[in-house]
């Protein structure tokens, strides 16, 4: 087992990541919620890196700051101090509008509860990121059908999400996360709503996505069944990165 000091991750971690470039570079990020006695320190001077071509997992007990860190990296949550670079874009110095644009173009999301819009067909759900980026509806839906085929849901594009199993719905969510070819894919507990078999299939899919050049997948999870899919694992405690494991199967 290789255990890296939280501040020297970049030098010690050598998992299965294909690239040598940073995908995500977080320096001294602090985030608090509330004021006065009610202040909660969600992130305390966090140092964190993720590399291109790797699937990195963030683990830790509830309330340790995993989801907050994920939200900060995704640009969906502001932070009090520190610096966050995602594929060379300094989120700390971008305006809210620029961060929104950045998310639309460069980040794909996979949520714990899938967040598929139940009234839209699977293909329409998958096409949403393309439509947000201004693509014409017909082209976007054609591309969505192609992506659904890639994730093993050929012919299910015109069905509603409610007509699919949980594992299939998560596949739709993965297709939606990939459809606009983002560099970074953010996954929040992607297997918590799935059984072991479906969870494993989803993780295999995410692992293969992470291998693509110029891409990175960050997964927040509580699910030890999937730890072995990680190239590296960042363990958080009390708002800090406590350890980085380069061989997570031994965790």
Partner 1 sequence: MYHIALKMLFADRAKYIMLISGLTFAALLMTQQAGVFFGILGWTNGNLKNIRSQIWVVDPKVEQVNEIKAMRDTDVNRVRSVPGVAWAVPTFWNPQQARLADGSFKPIVLVGLDNSSLVGRPVHMIAGRIEDMRLPNTVIIDDLGVQRLSQGRKKPIGIGDTFEINDKEARIVGICQTEKMFWGYPYVFTTYDQALRFAPKQRKMLSFILAEPAEGQSAAAVAKRIHEETGLGAHTEEEFGAMTVKWFFKNTGIPVSFATTIILGFIVGFAIAGQTFYSFILENLRHIGALKAMGASNGLLTRMVILQAITVGIIGYGIGIGLTVVVGLAFLQKGMPPFSLPYEVPLYTFFAILFICAFAAVLGLRKIFNLEPAIVFRG
Q: Name the residues that contact partner 1, by CB under 8 A.
A: 67, 70-71, 74, 76-77, 97, 100-105, 107, 109, 111-113, 115, 117-120, 124, 128-129, 131-133, 137, 188
Residue 11 Cβ vs partner 1, minimum distance, rounded to whole Å: 30
Looking at the Cβ atoms of 202 and 246, the one nearer to partner 1 is 202
Residue 70 Cβ vs partner 1, minimum distance, rounded to whole Å: 6
Looking at the Cβ atoms of 102 and 227, the one nearer to partner 1 is 102
Residue 246 Cβ vs partner 1, minimum distance, rounded to whole Å: 26
Looking at the Cβ atoms of 10 and 67, the one nearer to partner 1 is 67
Contact 229, 73 (CB under 8 A): no
Looking at the Cβ atoms of 8 and 63, the one nearer to partner 1 is 63
Looking at the Cβ atoms of 69 and 241, the one nearer to partner 1 is 69
Q: What is the DSSP string of the chain?
A: --EE-GGGHHHH--SS---SSEEEEEEEEEEEES-GGG-EEEEEEEEEEEETT-EEEEE-STTSSHHHHHHHHHTSS--SEEEEEETTEEGGGS-HHHHHHHHHHHEEEE-TT----TTS-HHHHHHHHHHHTT--HHHHHHHHHHHHHHTT-TT-TTS-GGGS-HHHHHHHHHHHHHTT--SEEEEESTTTTS-HHHHHHHHHHHHHHHHSTT-EEEEE---GGGGGG-SEEEEEETTEEEEEES-GGG-
Looking at the Cβ atoms of 128 and 247, the one nearer to partner 1 is 128
Residue 1 Cβ vs partner 1, minimum distance, rounded to whole Å: 29
Torsion of CA 26, 30, 32, 36, to 10 degrees: 180
């Amino acid at each position: 087992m290789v255990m890296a000091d939280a501040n020297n991750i970049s030098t010690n971690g050598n998992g299965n990541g294909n690239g040598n470039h940073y995908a995500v570079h977080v320096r001294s990020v602090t985030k608090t919620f509330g004021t006065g006695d009610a202040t909660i320190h969600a992130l305390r001077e966090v140092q964190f890196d993720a590399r291109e071509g790797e699937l990195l997992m963030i683990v830790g007990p509830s309330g340790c700051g995993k989801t907050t860190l994920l939200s900060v990296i995704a640009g969906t949550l502001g932070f009090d101090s520190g610096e966050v670079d995602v594929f060379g874009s300094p989120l700390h110095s971008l305006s809210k509008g620029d961060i929104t644009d950045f998310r639309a173009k460069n980040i794909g999301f996979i949520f714990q509860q899938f967040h598929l819009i139940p009234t839209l067909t699977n293909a329409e759900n998958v096409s949403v990121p393309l439509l947000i980026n201004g693509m014409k509806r017909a082209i976007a839906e054609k591309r969505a059908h192609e992506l659904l085929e890639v994730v093993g849901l050929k012919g299910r594009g015109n069905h509603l999400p409610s007509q699919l199993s949980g594992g299939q719905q998560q596949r739709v969510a993965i297709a939606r996360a990939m459809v606009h070819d983002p560099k970074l894919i953010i996954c929040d507990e992607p297997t918590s709503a799935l059984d072991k078999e479906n969870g494993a299939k989803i993780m295999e899919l995410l692992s293969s996505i992470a291998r693509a050049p110029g891409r990175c997948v960050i997964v927040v999870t509580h699910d030890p069944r999937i730890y072995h899919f990680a190239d590296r694992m960042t363990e958080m405690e009390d708002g800090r990165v406590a350890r980085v494991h380069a061989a997570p199967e031994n965790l």
